[in-house]
């Protein structure tokens, strides 16, 4: 499996797992290949991660950006395409 195949397999798995949660803005964050395993990290948004107030809706309609919190998952794949695990990405830094 090459890197593009691993990314596609991991992205497909992520979309299947979260199909009922309407995730959006999926982005590739990191990729690592060690031995016969791939660690691929994606970030994405969930509808309930964005605080919604009437004031925010008005500002968004006027073109302002809304703060969006992101969820990040690390998918571990075997070279044969099997998903071995999916975990939260560890948070680092102050207050995380």
pLDDT of the residue at 24:
87
Which tokens go with 26? 């999926």
Residue 94 lies in a domain: no
Q: Please report the pLDDT score of residue 91 as a whole number.
A: 65
What is residue 45's predicted lDDT score, i.e. its pLDDT? 86
pLDDT score of 80: 95
- Judge whether 40 lies within some domain: yes
- For the stretch 46-92, pLDDT in tens is 876 666 677 777 777 777 666 667 889 999 999 999 999 999 987 65
Give me the CATH number covering residue 77: 3.10.450
In a domain, 48, yes or no: yes
Residue 81 lies in a domain: yes
Number of domains in the chain: 1
Cα–Cα distance for residue pair 73/52, rounded to 1 Å:
24
- Which backbone phi and psi does 26 adopt, to 5 degrees? -70, 130
- H/E element, 54: helix 54-61
Report if residue 96 sits inside a domain.
no
Q: Which residues span the domain enclosing 59?
A: 3-88
Cα separation, 83 vs 1, in Å, equals 13
Within a domain: residue 67?
Answer: yes
Q: Is 96 a residue whose pLDDT tops 50?
A: no
Whether the pLDDT of residue 94 is over 60: the answer is: no
Do residues 71 and 50 touch, judged by C-beta distance below 8 A?
no
Map residue 25 onto helix, strand or coil: strand
Residue 38 within a domain: yes
**Cβ partners under 8 Å of residue 78, min gap 6:** 36, 37, 38, 84
pLDDT in tens, 25-53: 899 999 999 999 999 999 998 876 666 67
Assigned domain for 35 exists: yes
């Amino acid at each position: 499996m090459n890197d593009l195949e691993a990314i596609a397999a991991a992205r497909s798995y992520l979309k299947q797992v979260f199909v009922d949660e309407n995730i959006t803005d999926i982005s590739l964050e990191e990729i690592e290949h060690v031995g016969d395993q791939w660690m691929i990290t994606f970030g994405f948004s969930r509808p309930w991660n964005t605080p919604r107030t009437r004031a925010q809706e008005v500002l968004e309609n006027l073109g302002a950006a809304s703060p969006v919190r992101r969820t990040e998952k690390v998918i571990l794949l075997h070279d044969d395409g099997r998903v071995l695990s999916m975990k939260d990405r560890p948070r680092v830094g102050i207050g995380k």
